[in-house]
Amino acid sequence: MAIEMGRPGVDGLGDVVRVLREWQYDGAPVQLHPGDVGRFWRFGAERTAEATRTWSRAGEVLAVGLLDGAELLRLAFAPEALRDEELAQQVVEDVSAPERGVLFEGKVYVEAPMGALVQDLLFKDGWESGEPWTLLRRDLGAPVPDPGVRVEVIGPEQAHECAAVLRASFEGSTFTDERWHAMAAGAPYVDARCLVARNEQGEAVAAVTVWSAGEGKLGPIEPMGVHRAHRGHGYGRAIAVAAARALQELGSSSVVVCCPSSNLGAVATYRSAGLEQLPERRDLCRNAS
């Protein structure tokens, strides 16, 4: 049967999240996670559906892509389809032809799991390695220590605090209360938690969202930020430890995070929170011609 690329529509997003959950397991290559779709959901269900692509054979979804911005496609594959030649070839054809509605002409990126055949085929097609990213992981089979600060799970009434911290953590951030509520309304947020750390005065100083995919599966941190006015006091380490504890309580087997290798401060913070630095990974890039 031929491979068909599709768009799930708003009504099909629940099925996309379901298959992404099924494809996550301890020891699997890190790839597009339900939490990545959940994080994107801050823009609303319609935009999330517009940014999602599926590749199916005989009605079975074998790959999912999320356009995380117009220039980057993030991919996940069913475990048994990671080296499926017909599937990989179809994905390469679809991402390489702008008229197919995935990536436009010019400089664009594809993030694919390590070991996926699609990486080999893109390299063969002239794509190149992009910027390095550092992957960090912590096994959650052992107890996670107390973070040492007051940490709260944020609900709708405190959404403004989380949004304010994240805006003050990232230059140019457009995260608002409304976007928090849109994110929390998405299907993936059922397995997520938003945490805020407070200082001794009760001010919100750091925030993180953790995304579980269910019992025994890895869970990412995205995003994590420390208010620029409260840096240098260990709140980054504390909220990262709190994130690991929250994921452990949700049944996750490990916590993972991926950040630009150039962000040495973030890498150091995660390492101080007990995450192990793993080999770098790179997106694939097609330069403008």
3-state SS, residue 109: strand
On whether the pTM is more than 0.85, the answer is: yes
pLDDT of res. 218: 93
- Give phi and psi for 261, each to the nearest 5: -60, -25
H-helix or E-strand spanning residue 222? strand 218-226
Determine how many CB atoms are found less than 10 A away from the CB of residue 232: 7
Which residues have CB under 8 Å from 65's CB, separation 6+? 32, 52, 53, 54, 55, 73, 74, 75, 76, 91, 102
pLDDT of res. 289: 57
pLDDT of res. 201: 96
pLDDT of res. 90: 98
H-helix or E-strand spanning residue 240? helix 235-249
3-state SS, residue 19: helix
pLDDT of res. 239: 98
In this structure, are residues 141 and 253 in contact, taking their beta carbons and an 8 Å threshold? yes
pLDDT of res. 236: 97
Cα distance between residue 54 and residue 66, in whole Å? 9
In this structure, are residues 184 and 139 in contact, taking their beta carbons and an 8 Å threshold? no
pLDDT averaged per 10 residues in sequence order, the chain, 289 residues: 94 97 88 97 98 97 96 97 98 95 94 95 95 95 96 96 96 94 97 97 97 94 95 97 98 95 95 96 86
Q: At what angle do helices 85-96 and 117-124 cross, to 10 degrees?
A: 50
Q: For residue 35, give the amino acid letter.
A: G
